[in-house]
Amino acid sequence: MGTLHDRMQDDLRLKNYADGTVEHYLRCAGQFVGHFKVSPLEVKEETIRKYIVTMASTRSPATVKMHVAALRFLYEVTLRRPELVIGLHFPKVPHKLPDILSLEEVRRLLEAIEPPKYRAVLMTAYGAGMRISEACSLLTTDIDSGRGVIHVRDGKRDRDRYVMLSKVLLATLREYWRIYRPTPPVLFPGERAATCVSDSAVRKALHEARGKAGLAKRVTPHSLRHAFATHLLEDGADIRTIQMLLGHGSIRSTARYTQVSVAHICKTRSPLDRLPTQPGGKATR
């Protein structure tokens, strides 16, 4: 995309989009330009629409939604030609409940992660319910052992928050520090100086650990965040507290964990058990 790529990247940065979103949007726009091999301004509205319609027949709704969002940004913001994407609509993405790891599965997974730096990153993600990007970008000054909290900076939608610093996690981080001696301010450095460890490197380590741990469930770094919230709920934490710890803007995002918590579901009494008699007239008590 050349100059257009740089312009779109600048526009995304100016609007303060997350690094991951910037990367996805630029990749989608690059695929679009590469497909037609002409300037996007030369592609007609109906052609753009057919491009997305064709994609919808072979790709998942979530993937199509990302491409639609990228093209709408490209034409509406960078090229200032919103009329060319007026016919693009976001597809309805099916809502599917995530697989939830049990406490034992989390233990097996964390024990299988190598090297220790990646284990420390993922233990932080699970122990504090952090997004993987948040855990990777932590600074040494974000760990407040005196108060027992971690300061999560620049979370989703630029929200800061505090999360708990567990005693087990603190001990793990101290052992990690003893081994690696990272140069401040970055807590988990990457391959290059003064950079944070990459999400992709952590994901790869987690994928390898899943196989070693013999887990059949699909596992991603976000699986640990799901497990954190579900395990808190099962341990008696209230939804509002979990919402604050996760940094959710809406309580509705947090409430979905009541749908995946087996313990929470089993504690709820079925109205069938309250009937004075069972079908057929037999008394229940």
Q: Pull the structure tokens for residue 9.
A: 């990247």
* Annotated catalytic residue, options 72, 119, 210, 225: 225
Which residues are paired to 186 by β-bridges?
A: 139
Is 80 one of the annotated active-site residues of the chain?
no
Distance CA 143, CA 141 (A): 5
Is 156 one of the annotated active-site residues of the chain?
yes
Amino acid at 50: K
Largest CA distance in the chain: 78
Is 24 one of the annotated active-site residues of the chain?
no
Is 192 one of the annotated active-site residues of the chain?
no
CA 25 to chain centre: 16
User: Cα torsion for 261, 263, 267, 271, to the nearest 10°?
Assistant: 50
Distance CA 83, CA 77 (A): 12
Of 130, 126, 125, 171, give the one whose Cα is nearest residue 148: 171
Distance CA 285, CA 275 (A): 10
Is 257 one of the annotated active-site residues of the chain?
yes
- Please say whether the beta carbons of 199 and 191 come within 8 A: no
Residue 17, SS3 per DSSP: coil
* Annotated catalytic residue, options 156, 174, 204, 240: 156
* Annotated catalytic residue, options 131, 210, 226, 231: 131
**Please, how many CA atoms are within 13 Å of residue 229, restricted to the half-sphere of its CB?**
28
Is 222 one of the annotated active-site residues of the chain?
yes
Of 106, 127, 135, give the one whose Cα is nearest residue 209: 106
* Annotated catalytic residue, options 50, 204, 222, 240: 222
- Catalytic residue numbers read 131, 156, 222, 225, 248, 257
